[in-house]
Amino acid sequence: MKIVIAAWHLKNFNVGIGRYARELIEALGRVDQTNYYDILLPQADHPFTARPNMRYRVIRFPFFRRRFWEQVSPLMVGAYDVLHFPYDSCVAWKRGKFVTTIHDVKPLLFPELRPRTNLNSRIEDWLVGDRWQMIDQVITVSEHSRRDVLAHVPLRPDQVSVTPLGLDAERFRPAEQRHEGRPYVLCVAGSDPTKNVGVLIEAFAALPSELRHRFDLVLAGDVCKREDIRAAIARTGLSAQSKLVGLLSDEALVTYYQQATVFVFPSLYEGFGLPVLEAMGCGCPVICSNAASLPEVAGEAAILVDPRRADQLAQELARVLESTDVQASLRARALARSKEYVWERTARQTVAVYERTVSRSGRAARRYQ
């Protein structure tokens, strides 16, 4: 088969979609030497491993952004068997089967997250028409997401496949030694309000005074740009012991995971919840919400809490912070759980989706030079 992957979101490697695109492409190269791949890139600064069956093509347009790029770029590479967008979007024209990855249906569940209608979106709607008629297969990343997709969009069950995400265990691994320094509670989150970071601030502020003053609260990611989060920190008197470190390089992110006393992820909704898996791989004890896909990902390896109850989170947070035994138990369970998620499995399952999608058409795969 000839498979085209349009990897626009490599531009956003600090978010889950960008990491998924990069890791999936590299893993496909490791596990599949049979099929031929054209990887479409929006810019040149995304080095990949050179492989004989993978061609990396940088396609730029001077004045147009994603919607134009994703419609036109696939038309420039000729016929293919499968076109895959590793994010939620659609094409107006296709020369083979079309597969898209829908990581979650959050915009359908939370009206405040729905994109605003503008000229670009109206043009896209006019070009694409009924996107669900154009899509041949959807990949999603958890069984919970699959149920949500099927509940909210007009697709058949056989059109939605699950390929759980993986973990780069060479990068996200425990530290050889822990640093001496002030201990901290870590949260990594985007600016999306469903990340629910405010409940963590409330819970941290509700800790017994003596315990609370032994730890800092470290927030990483785009959540640090939110003025309401900064205001909540000030209102609860946590300014002196709160650190908002913003977006981090991979190396810095790993170090923060490795050295944290506990990682807290109180999200209201996740299609998968990659930060939970990353923290586990680094040997960090995890407390996360019991919502959406997170119990599926964390299994028995994390403490699960109701994300709308700051009092419950404060109670579990205190239990972890006060006990090195609890921390050690969570750390061991986290490391064992993280080993179950590898990108090679994601890649093999993705290739199987491509093959099933093409075979349904009754068309034999062609050979490409």
**Tokens encoding 359:** 């075979």
Q: Does 2-166+342-359 match 184-338 in CATH topology?
A: yes
Residue 326: what pLDDT?
98
Closest by Cα among 273, 274, 355, 345 to 84 = 355
What single string gives the DSSP state of each residue in 186-242?
EEE--S-GGG-HHHHHHHHHTS-HHHHTT-EEEEESGGGG-HHHHHHHHHTT-GGGE
Contacts of 112 (CB under 8 A, 6+ apart): 193
Contacts of 194 by beta carbon, 8 Å cutoff, 6+ apart: 106, 110, 113, 267, 268, 269
Sheet holding 242-246, edge to edge: 242-246, 216-220, 184-188, 262-265, 286-289, 303-305
Q: How far apart are CA 241 and CA 253, in angstroms?
A: 19
Percent of the chain with pLDDT over 90: 74
Q: How much is the average pLDDT of 207-219?
A: 97
Is the CATH number 3.40.1180.10 carried by domain 2-166+342-359? no
pLDDT over threshold 80, residue 96? yes
Tens digits of per-residue pLDDT, 229-274?
A: 999 999 999 999 999 999 998 899 999 999 999 999 999 999 999 9
Q: Which range, of 77-81, 86-90, 360-364, averages the lowest pLDDT?
A: 360-364
**Superfamily of structural domain 184-338:** Glycogen Phosphorylase B; (3.40.50.2000)
HSE value, Cβ hemisphere, 13 Å, CA-based, for 5: 26
Tell me the three state secondary structure of residue 18.
helix
CA angle 211, 189, 5 (to 5 degrees): 150
Q: Give the pLDDT confidence of 36-73 residue by residue, as tens digits.
A: 999 999 887 777 899 999 999 998 887 667 778 888 89
Predicted confidence band of residue 328 (pLDDT cuts 50, 70, 90): very high
Q: Where are the domains of the chain?
A: 2-166+342-359, 184-338
Backbone angles phi, psi at 189, to 5 degrees: -155, 155
